[in-house]
């Protein structure tokens, strides 16, 4: 009896009784031409267009677009397409971006320590240090392996690996 009840409950959960319905979405465009879709309305400074979004069940007939743009919207899009993309800033690693992301990744994979790497990069490469010492604003990570080999990595006051000859 319990099995039949569980099977019935599972069947109810797998087959929703409420059909999916269309909803109204707000299309907000600010003075710079940036477009945002939301269900909560637009700020006062943005222009507002209501769009009906309908997401039919997959496999039920031909494809249906989710929203049909108005002719005025097509003109606004052509203006946006003519603009050039400008990169305003780049990611700063705190060490002067001496290494590109590809160089950094390659060094970590090859277990190499290079000038300009961060403490986090060194820990990704060699693991947690066996010993950490600090003096005169410099931090040193000390490593020792099972064969008795020792290795020391020196960081500057910003936490960046110092290049050899610049200590």
Residue 13 within any structural domain of the chain: no
Q: Which of residues 67, 82, 97 is at a domain's end? A: 82
Its domain, for residue 40, covers 18-82
Residue 3 within any structural domain of the chain: no
Measure the CA–CA gap between 40 and 140, rounded to whole angstroms. Answer: 53
Higher pLDDT, 109 or 1: 109
pLDDT, one tens digit per residue, over 10-44 is 555 555 544 445 567 778 888 888 888 877 777 77
DSSP state of 44: T
Higher pLDDT, 59 or 9: 59
Mark residue 74 as left, alpha or beta (left: phi above 0; alpha: psi -120 to 50; beta: remaining): alpha
Q: Which of residues 82, 104, 133 is at a domain's end? A: 82
Residue 109 within any structural domain of the chain: yes
pLDDT of residue 20: 47
For the whole model, what pTM was predicted? 0.44
Measure the CA–CA gap between 40 and 43, rounded to whole angstroms. Answer: 10
Domain match, 117 and 74 both: no
Domain match, 99 and 167 both: yes
Residue 8 in this model has a pLDDT that exceeds 90: no
Mean of pLDDT over the chain: 75
pLDDT, one tens digit per residue, over 73-95 is 444 454 555 666 666 666 777 78
Residue 10 within any structural domain of the chain: no
Is residue 156 within 8 A of residue 109, CB to CB? The reply is no
Domain match, 100 and 75 both: no
Residue 65 within any structural domain of the chain: yes
Instruction: Please give the structure tokens belonging to residue 62.
Output: 């031909």
Q: Report the number of distinct structural domains present in the chain.
A: 2
Domain match, 69 and 126 both: no
Higher pLDDT, 20 or 156: 156
Domain match, 32 and 48 both: yes
Instruction: Give the pLDDT mean for 116-120.
Output: 90
pLDDT class of 132 with cuts at 50, 70, 90: very high
Measure the CA–CA gap between 23 and 90, rounded to whole angstroms. Answer: 39
């Amino acid at each position: 009896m319990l099995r039949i009840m569980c099977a019935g409950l599972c069947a109810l959960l797998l087959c929703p009784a409420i059909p999916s319905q269309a909803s109204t979405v707000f299309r907000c465009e600010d003075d710079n031409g940036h477009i945002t879709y939301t269900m909560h309305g637009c700020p006062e400074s943005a222009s507002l267009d209501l769009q009906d979004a309908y997401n039919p069940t997959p496999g039920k007939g031909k494809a249906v677009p989710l929203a049909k743009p108005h002719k005025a919207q097509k003109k606004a899009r052509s203006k946006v397409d003519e603009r050039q993309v400008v990169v305003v800033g780049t990611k700063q690693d705190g060490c002067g971006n001496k290494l590109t992301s590809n160089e950094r990744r390659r060094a970590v994979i090859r277990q190499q320590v290079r000038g300009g790497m961060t403490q986090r990069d060194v820990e990704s490469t060699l693991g947690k240090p066996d010993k950490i010492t600090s003096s005169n604003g410099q931090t040193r990570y000390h490593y020792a392996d099972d064969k008795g080999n020792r290795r020391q990595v020196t960081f500057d006051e910003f936490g960046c690996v110092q290049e050899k000859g610049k200590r």
